[in-house]
């Protein structure tokens, strides 16, 4: 018996991708009449209504694919996405497997200087000493790069990745979307963070997002009623996943959401909020995330590689989790923030005021240690950036399965790490906190004393 994991299209995933199966992805109404005649539709409806988990064999998945054509091919790709013998290759090949738009590189890359340093032999986490090499292996690292004083101190690749490999960033995309929004604010395309998001995305005017400020959406305090329970086939996140898998519009789904709480009071991690940022960017600048990133960021950053941004079938970027970059370019984003918005080649790409506002919690409900969500007691939140409790004022971007951009301004350290950590469902939150402990140990070892 086989289950299907769906990751593409919903990266609050980031807080724990659940398993669910094909019957939770397929809307009953979308099954063709030919399947109805065979009784399959009645069987699925019977068992779904009884809340019994139906596990389809690989043969039945293939049979279904013959009826739903290209959508069946997509389901099969998703079905094998996390196979232990394929996950490493899949995570560096997402644009080959799914629709995407390019992040075009049309300028010379800035050359990094290198000053190699030793990594810590071990670090402490939850009362245990963990060997650095064991951590690299146990978290299934595909690449890690450490910068100290703007120089490469350490760079290694694993599992077949190289410096030119693209890696799926999952919710690292959220922090990058924050950067793009900041650039649009700086150039006047967005007038104020207090503007309602529907001012720039009129399709949201009849949704729960109507009247919600851009700032509240950046802080994931929109008040939108959004159920991210992967075990519930009727949850909002599963409906969003069905939309993408079946070729629908992700923006139309987001525009149908309703209000649950008053905005600005409760932090609730909602991937749809970041999709709204993509809609705001398009409405305010006339460019979606991939085009804006190409023209305004990649042309000035001195990027290493051309990137790719996954889309739905309508050509709309999955703003909340679809960016694919090479490891050095993820690090360049961190270096940009470390340098208060200035790239290594001297371009002021985003204002220092935006960097500061993005990486510090604005109010009590966003401070580290104040979250009510289970499993996340020690992380605060800024504008789509995470803020650890205590220590040295660090901040980081986090993506599911072990993707990180870590910035420690006090030590002058930036770390980017990509991984294919297939056990995320079991202990993903602990893995993330373990990584923060490792990053802190690295910073103390190679950074400013």
Q: What are the residue ranges spanned by the domains of the chain? A: 11-96, 102-446
pLDDT for residue 311: 97
Q: How many residues does the chain have?
A: 449
pLDDT for residue 313: 93
Q: Are strands 113-114 and 151-157 parallel, antiparallel or unpaired?
A: parallel
pTM score of the predicted model: 0.85
Query: How far apart are the two ends of the chain, measured CA to CA in Å?
Result: 55
Q: Facing residues of 141 across strands?
A: 419
**CATH number belonging to domain 102-446:** 3.40.710.10
Going from the first residue of the chain to its last (449 residues), give the mean pLDDT of each consecutive group of 10, the final group possibly shorter.
Answer: 36 38 37 43 45 43 48 71 89 95 92 97 96 98 98 99 98 98 99 99 98 99 85 77 86 96 94 98 99 97 97 96 98 99 96 98 89 60 94 92 98 99 89 96 96
Listed in sequence order, the residues at least 6 apart from 51 whose beta carbon sits closer than 8 Å to its beta carbon are: none
Residue of 373, 375, 397 whose CA lies nearest to 386: 397
Q: Cβ(387)–Cβ(371) under 8 Å?
A: no
Listed in sequence order, the residues at least 6 apart from 158 whose beta carbon sits closer than 8 Å to its beta carbon are: 136, 141, 142, 143
pLDDT for residue 72: 64
């Amino acid at each position: 018996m086989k289950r299907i994991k769906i990751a593409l299209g919903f990266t609050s995933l980031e807080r724990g991708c659940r398993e669910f199966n094909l019957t939770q992805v397929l809307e009953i109404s979308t099954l063709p009449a030919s399947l109805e005649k065979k009784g399959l539709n009645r069987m699925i409806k019977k068992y779904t209504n009884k809340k019994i988990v139906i596990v389809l064999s690989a043969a039945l998945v293939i049979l279904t694919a013959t009826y739903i054509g290209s959508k069946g091919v997509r389901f099969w790709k998703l079905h094998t996405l996390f196979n232990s013998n394929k996950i490493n290759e899949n995570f560096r090949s997402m644009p080959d497997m799914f629709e995407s738009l390019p992040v075009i590189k049309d300028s010379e890359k800035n050359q990094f200087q290198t000053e190699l340093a030793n990594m810590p032999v071990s670090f402490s986490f939850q009362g245990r000493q963990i060997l650095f090499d064991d951590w690299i292996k146990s978290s299934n690292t595909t690449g890690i790069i450490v910068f100290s004083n703007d120089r490469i101190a350490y760079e290694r690749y694993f599992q077949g990745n190289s410096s030119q490999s693209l890696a799926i960033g999952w919710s690292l995309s959220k922090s990058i979307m924050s950067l793009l929004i900041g650039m649009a604010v700086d150039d006047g395309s967005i007038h104020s963070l207090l503007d309602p998001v529907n001012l720039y995305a009129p399709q949201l005017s009849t949704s729960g997002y109507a009247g919600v400020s851009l700032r509240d959406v950046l802080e994931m305090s929109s008040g939108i009623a959004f159920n991210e329970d992967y075990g519930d086939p009727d949850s909002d996140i599963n409906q969003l996943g069905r939309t993408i898998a079946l070729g629908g519009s992700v923006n139309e789904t987001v525009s149908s959401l309703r209000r649950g709480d008053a905005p600005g009071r409760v932090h609730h991690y909602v991937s749809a909020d970041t999709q709204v940022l993509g809609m705001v960017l398009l409405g305010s600048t006339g460019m979606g995330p991939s085009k804006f990133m190409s023209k305004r960021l990649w042309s000035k950053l001195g990027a290493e590689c051309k990137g790719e941004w996954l889309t739905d079938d309508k050509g709309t970027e999955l703003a909340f989790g679809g960016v694919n970059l090479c490891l050095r370019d993820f690090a360049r984003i961190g270096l940009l923030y470390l340098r208060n918005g200035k790239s290594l080649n001297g371009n002021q790409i985003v204002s220092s005021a935006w960097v500061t506002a993005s990486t510090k919690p604005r109010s009590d409900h966003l401070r580290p240690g104040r979250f009510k969500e289970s499993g996340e007691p020690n992380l605060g939140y800024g504008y789509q950036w995470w803020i650890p409790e205590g220590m040295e004022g660090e901040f980081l971007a986090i993506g599911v399965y072990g993707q990180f951009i870590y910035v420690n301004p006090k030590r002058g350290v930036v770390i980017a790490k990509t991984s294919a950590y297939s056990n995320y469902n079991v202990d993903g939150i602990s893995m993330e906190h373990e990584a923060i402990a490792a990053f802190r140990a690295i910073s103390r070892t190679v950074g400013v004393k």
